[in-house]
Amino acid sequence: SQQGEEDPQALSIQEGENATMNCSYKTSINNLQWYRQNSGRGLVHLILIRSNEREKHSGRLRVTLDTSKKSSSLLITASRAADTASYFCATDAPGYSTLTFGKGTMLLVSP
């Protein structure tokens, strides 16, 4: 299975702090994506990084990818209470047309 694993499983921080979540996967990938899921809702796409990219930014989000270690990190800077959600990484592998999701990190940002 190429399922990704996020860590930590849960993260609790104060507003204004940075949050870092990590994702590891097992096989070669074409792309890695990060999604957010608010309680009771569907997933929302945040950012995609290709296998030949090392870092990508989008607003307060910064994603890194290390294909030699088969890992990625998602950094949310200056967190807000509204960032409270579960965050999932998802990978697609050569020859596969589907995404494989990790188990996610639950982020709680307290005011």
Partner 1 sequence: NAGVMQNPRHLVRRRGQEARLRCSPMKGHSHVYWYRQLPEEGLKFMVYLQKENIIDESGMPKERFSAEFPKEGPSILRIQQVVRGDSAAYFCASSPTGQGSQPQHFGDGTRLSIL
Q: Give one DSSP letter per residue of 72-102, joined into a string.
A: EEEEE-S--GGG-EEEEEEEE-TT--S-EE-
For the CB of residue 79, give the shortest distance to partner 1 in the complex, in Å: 21
CB 87 within 8 A of CB 34: yes
State yes or no: residue 97 binds partner 1 (CB under 8 A). yes
Q: What angle do CA 98, 103, 108 make, to 5 degrees?
A: 130
Q: Which stretch binds partner 1 (CB under 8 A): 14-22, 60-68, 76-84, 91-99?
A: 91-99
Residue in 26, 56, 60, 103 binding partner 1, rule: CB under 8 A: 103
Residue in 2, 20, 22, 31 binding partner 1, rule: CB under 8 A: 31
**CA atoms of 41 and 98, how far apart (whole Å):** 21
Asked if residue 72 binds partner 1 (CB under 8 A), the reply is no
Q: 50 or 57: whose CB is closer to partner 1?
A: 50
Structure tokens at 100: 């494989």
DSSP state for residue 6 in the 8-state scheme: E
- Site for partner 1, rule CB under 8 A: 3, 30-31, 33, 35, 40-45, 48, 50, 88, 92-93, 96-104, 106
